[in-house]
Amino acid sequence: MDLRLWTFGPIEYHAVLSTDFTTESTFENPVPVLGIIWDRKDDNLSINIKDVSVSENLSKREILSVTQAIFDPLGFLAPVLLPAKLLLQQIWAIKSDWDTPLPEEIKVKFLKWVENLQILTNLKMPRRIGFGDKSSWSLHVFCDSSQQAYATVIFLRCEYDGKNIHTFRFC
């Protein structure tokens, strides 16, 4: 197997290694990595959300297709995908056929959810967690549940020189 055109970050590491193994592209261009977009310049990850178009006669098949088309291998979008998955549970409960038009109340909820998806194109998550010099840090874990779902969030709080505070979400 011919391995070539590698890319890695941060930028200062590229000066140390031979350019025979690195890409010719600039750091201005985001790089797709396993379905996630990596902005090497800012060292952030983002999810590519394609424009979603739905038909007027929305069906169970179409809702499932739109919901599952969002690739989120690291689970960053789990809280955003949850309402659509709960809506799918409602559709299964009413025993709707795959291509039968859905009730108006379900259509309205789903279309509102689709409308809000484009906000996710602005979502940026740091790729790495930096501790810096002389920092204190603490790990925070929160979890909660309801009859329909459960969730957990874990994040790291770093305090640099007693002044600057940054938080990094793990999952």
Asked whether residue 70 is domain-assigned, the answer is yes
Give a yes or no: residue 48 inside a domain: no
The distance between the two most distant Cα atoms of the chain, rounded to a whole number of Å, is 61
Domain end point (choices 86, 104, 124):
124
CB 127 within 8 A of CB 90: no
Q: Whole-angstrom Cα distance, residue 37 to residue 44?
A: 8
If you average pLDDT over residues 22-47, what whole number do you get?
77
Most confident segment among 31-40, 97-106, 133-142 = 97-106
Same domain, 114 and 152: no
pTM of the model: 0.75
DSSP 8-state secondary structure symbol assigned to residue 126: E
Identify the domain containing residue 101 by its residue range.
Answer: 60-124
> Is 108 inside a domain boundary?
yes
> Is residue 120 domain-shared with residue 66, that is, in the same domain?
yes
Peptide bond into 10 cis (omega under 30): yes
pLDDT in tens, 121-162: 888 888 877 666 667 888 999 999 999 999 999 988 888 877
Q: Count of alpha carbons within 13 Å of 98, Cβ hemisphere only?
A: 3
Per DSSP bridges, beta strands 31-33 and 44-47 are unpaired
65 occurs within a structural domain: yes
Q: How many domains does the chain have?
A: 2
Task: State whether 68 and 109 are in the same domain.
Answer: yes
Apex 158 CA angle, 154 and 160, nearest 5: 175
- Judge whether residue 12 has pLDDT over 50: yes
Q: Do 119 and 137 belong together in one domain?
A: no
pLDDT in tens, 68-82: 988 888 888 889 999
Among 23-27, 46-50, 71-75, 138-142, which range has the highest average pLDDT?
138-142
Q: Are residues 68 and 103 in the same domain?
A: yes
CA distance 151 to 23: 39
Judge if 138 and 89 occupy the same domain: no
Residue 171, both tokens: 């999952």
Residue 92 in domain: yes
119 and 65, same structural domain?
yes
The two tokens of residue 157 are 């709080």
Is 82 inside a domain boundary?
yes
Residue 24 reports pLDDT greater than 60: no
User: What does the pLDDT read at residue 3?
Assistant: 46
pLDDT at 18 over 80: no
Same domain, 103 and 141: no
pLDDT-derived band at 16, boundaries 50, 70, 90: low
Is 145 inside a domain boundary?
Answer: yes
13 within some domain: no
pLDDT score for 99: 94
| 137 and 162, same domain (yes or no) | yes
| Token digits of residue 137 | 């840090």
Using the 3D structure, point to which of 87, 105, 124 is the last residue of a domain: 124
